[in-house]
Amino acid sequence: MTGRYNRRAMVEQFALFEAPAAPGRPGADPAPAAVPADVVALGRALPALVHLGTSSWAFPGWAGIVYARPVPESVLSRRGLAAYARHPVLRAAGIDRTFYAPLDAEAFAGYAEQVPAGFRFVVKAPAAVTDAVIRGERGRASGANPRFLDAGLALETFVRPVLEGLGPKAGPLVFQFSPLGRAWTADPSSFAARLGRFLGEIRDGLRGRDALLAVEVRDAELVGAPLARALEDAGASYCFGVHPRMPDVTAQAAALGAPARGPLVARWNLHSGFAYAEAKAQYAPFDRLVDEDPDTRAALARLAARAIARGAPAFVIANNKAEGSAPLTLIALARAVASAAGEGRRA
């Protein structure tokens, strides 16, 4: 999601990520789809360190892929997660709602209760701390954001509730920066220094408690050695963003240098050449792959295999607007990851 978020986008996100209902309502919960035998085998063969997931689970068009039958979006948003988490390849899910407004620990705990032990959530930090400006209607900037990179606010409204509510099921906490403008992109070193202080203050506030912090940017000028050093010093990870605003995954990796340690974190957001609304119109109801992107798939598979080889997890979240159907994108990616990991072992 770019910085051009607005009231309509907020309403749509809240609809997709309503607070979960209490699990176990008899006869009301969506059922998982019958998954083909080869996909079941793929899930079993996929290394345990690999966590692939979609950026929401509330899509009726996934009937026959994730869910047994079509179920209204409002029902899936509240009670579909448990069925989603039974898919053999989908071991993660993204929670984007927190980009717009905070959730408390109780809401996160409600999600955690519905998924198995090995499942992980990738959660986005609030724009209140990652957007350099305050935005009004239609995303128009109305002035500088005084809480930009405010570690205290991030800890209070995001980091601590996520860790308390999700516990060991918390995966990467992603600080996604909307396009920051020339004031920041003209001096990447200054941004990296400010970011490093922010991440360090969060680490200090956690008092030794572990958290996987990740940073995603939407300005190509910021991707380089200063950012890589700041992340390494803070013990944080870069989040590869697959988005038309950014260079491709391979170019991002080259600009940052190969990490010697740490996980892979990636969000496969949007197919090149489309805006979100255009991709939604082109791909709905998200039940098939429309525009496959084999280059991105291969690049992410290679990065995942390298992470696994160094004993680190790999987290990839895919959007329907990447290729047309996020679950099918991830099944294809899982095959590529398994193949790349196997080649790495044989090398």
Note whether residue 245 is domain-resident.
Answer: yes
- pLDDT of residue 69 exceeding 80, the answer is yes
Flag whether 2 is in a domain. no
The range of the structural domain enclosing residue 77 comes to 7-346
User: CB under 8 Å, gap of 24 or more: what pairs does 69-73 form?
Assistant: 69/31, 71/30, 73/15, 73/16
Decide if 203 is inside a domain.
yes
Residue 172 domain flag? yes
Residue 99 falls inside a structural domain: yes
Mean pLDDT check: name the lowest of 126-130, 133-137, 260-264, 319-323: 133-137
Please state the three-class secondary structure of the chain as a single string: CCCCCCHHHHHHHHHHCCCCCCCCCCCCCCCECCCCHHHHHHHHHCCCCEEEEECCCCCHHHECCCECCCCCHHHHHHHCHHHHCCCCCEEEEEECHHHCCCCCHHHHHHHHCCCCCCCEEEEECCHHHHCCEEECHHHCEEEECCCCCCHHHHHHHHHHHHHHHHHHHEEEEEEEECCCCHHHHCCHHHHHHHHHHHHHHHHHHHCCCCCCEEEEECCHHHCCHHHHHHHHHHCCEEEEEECCCCCCHHHHHHHHCCCCCCCEEEEECCCCCCCHHHHHHHHCCCCCCCCCCHHHHHHHHHHHHHHHHCCCCEEEEECHHHHCCHHHHHHHHHHHHHHHHHHHHHC
**Whole-number pLDDT of residue 346:** 56
CATH number at residue 243: 3.20.20.410
Evaluate whether residue 274 is within a structural domain: yes
Q: Which of 263, 152, 149, 153 is nearest to 211 (CA)?
A: 263
pLDDT classification of 21: cutoffs 50, 70, 90: very low
β-strand 141-144 against 133-135: which pairing, if any?
A: antiparallel
Structure tokens at 164: 């308390």
> Residues 330, 297: contact at Cβ < 8 Å?
no
pLDDT at residue number 344: 56
**Which pLDDT score, from 0 to 100, does residue 143 have?**
81
Average pLDDT of the chain to the nearest whole number: 89
Sequence-ordered list of residues with C-beta below 8 angstroms from that of 331, at least 6 positions apart, any chain: 39, 42, 89
Amino acid at residue number 176: Q
Contact 137, 112 (CB under 8 A): no
Q: Is the pLDDT of residue 19 over 60?
A: no
Domain count within the chain = 1
Q: What is the pLDDT of residue 152?
A: 97
Inform me whether the pLDDT recorded for 327 exceeds 50. Answer: yes
Q: What is the pLDDT of residue 29?
A: 85
Residue bearing the bigger pLDDT, 260 or 152: 152
Omega within 30 of 0 (cis) for the link into 20? no
pLDDT band (50, 70, 90) for residue 137: low
Per-residue model confidence (pLDDT) at position 12: 37
**Does the pLDDT value for residue 263 go beyond 70?**
yes
User: Residue 104's pLDDT band (boundaries 50, 70, 90)?
Assistant: very high
Amino acid at 72: P
Kindly state the percentage of the chain with pLDDT values over 70: 88
Q: Do the domain assignments include residue 1?
A: no
The label of the residue with tokens 């986005």 reads 124
Inter-residue contact 80 to 67 (CB < 8 Å) = yes
Q: Is residue 81 part of a domain?
A: yes
pTM of the model: 0.90
